[in-house]
Amino acid sequence: MAHKGLSWINTIVGDIPHDRIILELVEAIVDREGDAVARAVAELRERGVRIALDDFGIGQSTLERLQRVPVDFVKIDRHFINAAFNTRRDRDILNGIIDVGLVSDAATVVEGIDTQAQLDLAQELGATHAQGFFLGQPAPISHWSTPVQASASSHSTPTNLVKLPHQMSHPGR
């Protein structure tokens, strides 16, 4: 898988620089094809493609997965930002997941940001990125093809993935 199996990337992306691409992995593929996925991810990252582990924290999430398959982004499932407003314990759990992502040398993306309060909390807890409908709406591919081609040399991200300003202090650190 890791050698001849990655030729599709050039076919799909054409002239878009690989460092403009973020591929999302779901946990199920990592579980099923662990070693092959680890080799493919390593090769993709060598080419400059960035890798995100989607919906981290639900299903079969394990810390071992972050050791075996290093990723550039840990996308924390929306469940945790929603629950963080219920109790201090739920907030601390989200804080811990963000910390795990950061110590694994990955950017942390809190998914499901639908309100200003959620965005503020994600930033307060030290997440590096936020994503959700509050930050941008889904659009047809025709909306994305021109902007992506026009900005292929820049290092921007999709419009609903926002890099959060760095916080000087972080609760729990």
Radius of gyration of the chain (CA): 17
Query: Does this model's pTM top 0.85?
Result: no
Token pair recorded at residue 50: 């960035």
CA distance 130 to 138: 15
Mean pLDDT throughout 39-68?
Answer: 85
Count of positions (residues) in the chain: 173
* Ramachandran area for residue 15 (φ above 0: left; ψ -120 to 50: alpha; else beta): alpha
Q: Any idea which of 45-59, 74-88, 94-108, 138-152 has the lowest mean pLDDT?
A: 138-152
**Are the C-beta atoms of residues 115 and 134 closer than 8 Å to each other?**
yes
Q: Is the pLDDT of residue 172 over 80?
A: no
Q: What is the pLDDT of residue 18?
A: 83
In a domain, 149, yes or no: no
Token pair recorded at residue 136: 């941008």
In a domain, 31, yes or no: yes
Q: What is the pLDDT of residue 5?
A: 65
Domain with 102 in it? 4-12+21-139
User: What CATH number has the domain bearing residue 93?
Assistant: 3.20.20.450
In a domain, 77, yes or no: yes
In a domain, 159, yes or no: no
Q: What is the DSSP string of the chain?
A: --SGGGTHHHHHHTTS-GGG-EEEEPHHHHHHTHHHHHHHHHHHHHTT-EEEEEEETSTT--HHHHHHS--SEEEE-HHHHHHTTT-HHHHHHHHHHHHHHHHTT-EEEEE---SHHHHHHHHHTT-SEEESTTT-----HHHHHHHHHHTTTS----TTEEEPPPPS--TT-
In a domain, 35, yes or no: yes
In a domain, 158, yes or no: no
Q: How many folded domains does the chain comprise?
A: 1
In a domain, 173, yes or no: no
Q: What is the pLDDT of residue 4?
A: 55
**Cβ–Cβ contacts within 10 Å for residue 47, how many?**
12
Mean pLDDT throughout 43-57?
Answer: 89
In a domain, 102, yes or no: yes
